[in-house]
């Protein structure tokens, strides 16, 4: 399997979006988000102070890029035409140049994911609509995102492949973990060895539109010992000690798509308190997975898990919702949150990761990537979840 979206798949994406354009009476679409551009073309453009974008009229795609990106786009392909401008800010602002090209094509009703380049790296610029005269500009920031929520078969296969290599990266991470070692050394070794194995196996079939040089990765992100009780801790190169709880994370970038695998491990013989919280965390995750089925609201899954917390007097150790959607980005909408009443649909992919965080003691969290099916849920990540398998014994 070629590890990227096929031309037929991308054509299907454009057809789906074209239908939405017809429904909204749009003559054209202008996209600035790298995610949105990728979804239609397979082309990923880096955002800097120099505006990049895509024009789509329902038939043809035109990349809008500075001169320094022209050869890059022509090499990668995926678009019918390249529109370039000299440099930013230039004597004539890139937004004005883009507006001229839009008017040349008689696009009266234009949909945009942002009215003008959103910027970064110090970019400053006017709204695109300022230059379009009588043209109608409709901001549709969620149009492509909503389309991406239900994954196609090809997208699911790329996510499954990500799960496979994330699984290997985590295996290396666990094998290399032992008291006395630092997290940076363990993580680097595991990520490099998994990436090497991945590239040796898939060979020329590997492709990363985002430019990943180490496609598979695994680490701890600072969640070691008492730091494991901080859900979004940052790596500080902690040394693992006997008795530490460690929370891990592993994934792989495959064709632009990612997965999420997280596990709670214990370095040495677990204490009774560690065992208790681990089992409760495991039960919460299993409960959430069992709740996932088409037609059910995202909020209902989270409410069921929150009820479990209350029943077991864990409210003080709750920190975040049950999970989120995942695919092109590590975090996507909708969310398994009690405030999100959107419904689960077959083809959606979500993470399930309810955690228990005991301050000044430890945190406990598994995260699995789950596909919503016609019948219910399919667990895409398959790394062991039980405590015995996740106990680090002496090497």
Last residue within a domain, chosen from 116, 147, 178: 147
Whether residues 138 and 157 fall in one domain: no
Whether residues 137 and 157 fall in one domain: no
Whether residues 161 and 267 fall in one domain: yes
Average pLDDT over residues 216-235: 96
Average pLDDT over residues 264-277: 98
Which two three-digit tokens encode residue 45? 């453009």
* Rg of the chain (C-alpha set): 23
Whether residues 135 and 189 fall in one domain: no
Closest-CA residue to 64 (of 104, 12, 26, 108) = 104
List pLDDT tens digits, range 366-393.
Answer: 999 999 999 999 999 999 999 999 999 8
Domain containing residue 21: CATH number? 3.40.350.10
The CA distance from 221 to 232, in Å, is: 8
Whether residues 233 and 137 fall in one domain: no
The CA distance from 226 to 283, in Å, is: 22
The count of structural domains within the chain is 2
State yes or no: pLDDT of 134 exceeds 70: no
List pLDDT tens digits, range 278-337.
Answer: 999 999 999 999 999 999 999 999 999 999 999 999 999 999 999 999 999 999 999 999
Domain containing residue 360: CATH number? 3.90.230.10
To the nearest whole percent, how much of the chain has pLDDT over 90?
Answer: 91
What global pTM score does this model have? 0.96
Task: Show the CA angle centred on residue 294, arms to residues 292 and 296, nearest 5°.
Answer: 65
Write down the mean pLDDT value for the chain: 95
Instruction: Domain of residue 15: give its range.
Output: 7-147
Whether residues 220 and 298 fall in one domain: yes
Whether residues 27 and 54 fall in one domain: yes
Whether residues 230 and 279 fall in one domain: yes
Three-class SS of 177-241 = CCCCCEHHHHHHHHHHHHHHHHHHHHHHHCCCCCCCCCCEEEECCCCEHHHHHCCCCCCCCCECC
pLDDT band of 1, cuts 50, 70, 90: low
In-domain check, residue 357: yes
Which two three-digit tokens encode residue 134? 């009588």
Whether residues 99 and 142 fall in one domain: yes
- pLDDT confidence of residue 203: 85
Average pLDDT over residues 196-224: 89
- pLDDT confidence of residue 395: 65
**Poorest-confidence range of 74-78, 230-234, 300-304?**
74-78
In-domain check, residue 1: no
Whether residues 58 and 172 fall in one domain: no
Helix H or strand E encompassing 325: strand 323-325
In-domain check, residue 2: no
Whether residues 231 and 341 fall in one domain: yes
Whether residues 26 and 69 fall in one domain: yes
Last residue within a domain, chosen from 90, 114, 147: 147
Which two three-digit tokens encode residue 166? 């994330």
- pLDDT confidence of residue 123: 95
In-domain check, residue 372: yes
Last residue within a domain, chosen from 117, 147, 177: 147
């Amino acid at each position: 399997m070629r590890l990227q979206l096929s031309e037929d798949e991308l054509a299907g994406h454009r057809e789906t979006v074209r239908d939405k354009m017809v429904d909204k009476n749009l003559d054209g679409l202008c996209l600035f988000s790298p995610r949105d551009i990728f979804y239609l073309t397979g082309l990923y453009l880096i955002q800097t102070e120099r505006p990049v974008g895509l024009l789509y009229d329902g038939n043809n795609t035109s990349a809008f890029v500075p001169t320094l990106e022209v050869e890059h786009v022509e090499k990668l392909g995926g678009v019918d035409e390249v529109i370039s401008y000299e440099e930013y800010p230039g004597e004539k602002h890139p937004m004005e140049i883009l507006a001229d090209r839009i008017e040349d094509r008689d696009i009266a009703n234009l949909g945009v994911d942002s009215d003008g380049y959103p910027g970064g790296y110090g970019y400053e610029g006017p709204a695109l609509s300022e230059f379009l005269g009588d043209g109608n500009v409709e901001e549709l920031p969620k149009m492509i995102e909503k389309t991406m929520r239900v994954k196609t078969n090809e997208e699911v296969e790329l996510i499954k492949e990500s799960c496979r290599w994330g699984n290997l990266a985590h295996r290396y991470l666990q094998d290399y973990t032992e008291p006395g070692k630092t997290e940076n050394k363990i993580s680097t070794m595991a990520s490099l060895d998994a990436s090497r194995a991945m590239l040796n196996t898939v060979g020329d079939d590997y492709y990363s539109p985002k430019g990943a040089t180490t496609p598979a990765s695994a680490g701890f992100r600072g969640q070691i010992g008492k730091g494991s009780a901080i859900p979004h801790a940052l790596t500080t190169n902690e040394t693992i000690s006997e008795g530490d709880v460690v929370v891990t994370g592993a994934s792989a970038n495959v064709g632009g798509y990612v997965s999420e695998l997280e596990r709670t491990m214990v370095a040495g013989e677990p204490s009774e308190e560690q065992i208790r919280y681990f089992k409760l965390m495991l039960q919460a995750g299993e409960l959430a997975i069992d709740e996932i089925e088409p037609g059910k609201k995202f909020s209902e899954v989270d409410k069921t898990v929150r009820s479990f917390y209350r029943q077991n007097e864990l409210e003080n150790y709750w920190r975040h919702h049950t999970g989120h959607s995942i695919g092109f980005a590590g975090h996507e909408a909708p969310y398994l949150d009690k405030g999100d009443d959107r419904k689960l649909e077959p083809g959606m992919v979500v993470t399930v990761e309810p955690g228990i965080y005991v301050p000044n003691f430890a945190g406990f969290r598994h995260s699995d990537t789950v596909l919503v099916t016609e019948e219910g849920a399919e667990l895409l990540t398959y790394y062991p979840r039980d405590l015995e398998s996740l106990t680090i014994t002496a090497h």
